């Protein structure tokens, strides 16, 4: 592959990636070399935090309209920063789901237009696969490995055994962890986005002041539940009204301590399960999603991995959150495996990484795929 006529080709594939699944408008150009290594030529991300902050969360219609207004300029900037034109590309990749359907449609339709005009292959990427494959771009890790995806919409353990080979072994049965952080922040009157606010205040608080629950801390379950923990924070806050700055910091610290205890416990259990599933003696745990940038959680995961004789890989923060580089890289991996999609590729609001895993309802008992 490689379409730059008359030039020395130093890449195996060069792909434009577009990401618009939520409230980041993003585009990037990524190369994958013959040696399997990746190189990010550009990675442009526009966050819509300012647009959504007055509402305390993402408003789907506002997000979709912003993508329409911004995406052409973001793509142009990504191509300029990469120092290439469309004739230098081997394909264009775009998130086709899961996500807010209006935003997903904007990105996918834009990618289809680029592919049609420039006669490029189109790769419709699962947003979660983009997260799952990011450590192969950033750290060159080999299959298999265990992924913990922690974001505003997802909290799950996935065994990544190869391209397209994903087994979900644990998931949240109610709130995602990022959602729990944001809702806790909102209850305490902290600005959006709440996760970083909680982390910052937790560093100044007493994690032992409030005895908060550690949900599903039992040996037979890899599933998570954060709804009860969130309710416990609300009840504790109501009992302390009016809230002082120190009490808010103590609530944040106590909440984060409970979360890290749960994550550490579940990670140890998941690594054992992964070791049994794959036979890998020194398992590798990788993290993805915005919550992966939380330093306390990163420490807890490192402790769990060390205890199990493995190691943890956390991509740089800018590549943990939503971005175009992860979509371009996933597109490159899929294209080289012989996969491409036509103009009939559909936007999907729901698209599980492990499509054989049934939805989890109730208490999430250990057993079949979670």
Q: What is the pLDDT of residue 92?
A: 98
Q: Are residues 70 and 179 in the same domain?
A: no
> Are 169 and 297 found together in one domain?
yes
Residue 6 pLDDT: 42
Q: 167 and 115 in one domain?
A: no
Do residue 120 and residue 249 come from a single domain? no
> Count of CB atoms within 10 A of residue 19's CB?
31
Backbone angles phi, psi at 15, to 5 degrees: -130, 140
Domain carrying residue 92? 13-135+320-336
The answer to whether residue 365 is domain-embedded is no
H or E, element range at 159 = strand 155-162
Instruction: Give the pLDDT score at 357.
Output: 86
Q: What is the CATH number of the domain that holds 222?
A: 3.30.420.40
346: in domain: no
Query: Which tokens sit at 180?
Result: 């729990």
Give the range among 43-57, 233-247, 298-312 with minimum mean pLDDT: 43-57
The rounded percent of the chain whose pLDDT value lies above 70 is: 94
Assess whether 116 and 175 both reside in one domain.
Answer: no
Q: Is residue 81 part of a domain?
A: yes
**Cβ–Cβ under 8 Å, residues 363 and 227:** no
69 located within any domain? yes
> Quick count: other Cβ atoms within 10 Å of Cβ 365?
12
Whether residues 162 and 305 share a domain: the answer is: yes
Taking residues 39-65, report their average pLDDT: 90
Q: Can you give the pLDDT at residue 34?
A: 87
Around 253, how many Cα atoms within 13 Å sit in the side-chain half-sphere?
A: 16
Of all residues in the chain, what percent carry a pLDDT higher than 90? 78
Give kind and range of the element (H or E) at residue 18: strand 13-19
Residue 356 domain-assigned (yes or no)? no
Give the pLDDT confidence score for residue 17 in this predicted structure.
98
Same domain flag for 216 and 163: yes
Please tell me the least confidently modeled range out of 95-104, 287-296, 357-366.
357-366
281 and 161 part of one domain: yes
Co-location of 130 and 185 in the same domain: no
In the block, which residue shows the tokens 């997802």?
Answer: 154
Query: Can you tell me the mean pLDDT for 242-247?
Result: 97
168 and 211 share one domain: yes
**pLDDT at res. 106:** 97
Angle among Cα 191, 48, 330 to the nearest 5 degrees reads: 120
How many distinct structural domains can be found in the chain? 2
Q: Comparing 10 with 183, which gets the higher pLDDT?
A: 183
Are 165 and 25 found together in one domain? no
Whether 191 is covered by a domain: the verdict is yes
- Tell me whether the omega of the peptide bond preceding residue 98 falls within 30 degrees of 0, making it cis: yes
Task: Tell me, yes or no, whether 303 lies in a domain.
Answer: yes
pLDDT of res. 227: 93
Same domain, residue pair 91 and 174: no
Phi, psi for residue 362 in degrees, rounded to 5: 80, -145
pTM of the model: 0.90
Tell me the pLDDT tens digit for each residue of 259-287: 999 999 999 999 999 999 899 989 999 99
Give me the pLDDT at residue 129, please.
Answer: 96
370 assigned to some structural domain: no
Q: What pLDDT does 366 receive?
A: 28
């Amino acid at each position: 592959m490689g379409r730059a006529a008359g030039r020395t080709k130093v890449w195996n594939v060069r792909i434009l990636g577009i990401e618009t699944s939520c409230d980041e408008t993003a585009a990037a150009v990524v190369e994958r070399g013959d040696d399997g290594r990746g190189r990010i030529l550009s990675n442009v991300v526009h966050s819509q935090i300012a647009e959504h902050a007055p509402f305390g969360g993402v408003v789907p219609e506002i997000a979709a309209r912003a993508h329409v207004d911004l995406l052409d300029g973001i793509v142009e900037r990504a191509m300029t920063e990469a120092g290439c034109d469309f004739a230098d590309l081997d394909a264009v990749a775009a998130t086709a789901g899961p996500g807010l359907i209006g935003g997903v449609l904007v990105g996918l339709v834009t990618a289809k237009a680029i592919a049609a005009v420039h006669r490029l292959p189109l790769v419709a990427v699962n947003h979660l696969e983009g997260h799952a494959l990011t450590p192969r771009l950033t750290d060159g890790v080999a299959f298999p490995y265990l992924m913990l995806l922690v974001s505003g919409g997802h909290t799950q353990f996935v065994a990544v055994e190869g391209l397209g080979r994903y087994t979900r072994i644990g998931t949240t049965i109610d709130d995602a962890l990022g959602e729990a952080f944001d809702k806790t922040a909102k209850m305490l009157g902290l600005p959006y986005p709440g996760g970083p606010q909680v982390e910052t205040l937790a560093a100044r608080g007493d994690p032992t002041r409030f005895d908060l629950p550690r949900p599903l801390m039992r040996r037979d379950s890899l599933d998570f539940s954060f709804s009860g923990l969130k309710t416990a924070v609300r009840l504790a806050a109501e009992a302390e009204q009016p809230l002082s700055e120190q009490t808010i910091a103590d609530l944040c610290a106590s909440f984060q301590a409970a979360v890290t205890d749960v994550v550490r416990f579940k990670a140890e259990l998941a690594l054992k399960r992964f070791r049994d599933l794959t036979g890998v003696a020194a398992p590798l745990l990788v993290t993805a999603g915005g919550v992966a940038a939380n330093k306390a959680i990163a420490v807890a995961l490192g402790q769990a991995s060390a205890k199990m004789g493995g190691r943890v890989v956390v991509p740089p923060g800018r590549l943990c959150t939503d971005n175009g580089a992860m979509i371009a890289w996933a597109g490159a991996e899929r294209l080289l495996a012989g996969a491409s999609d036509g103009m009939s590729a559909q936007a999907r609001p729901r698209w599980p990484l492990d499509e054989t895993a049934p939805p989890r309802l109730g208490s999430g008992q250990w057993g079949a795929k979670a």
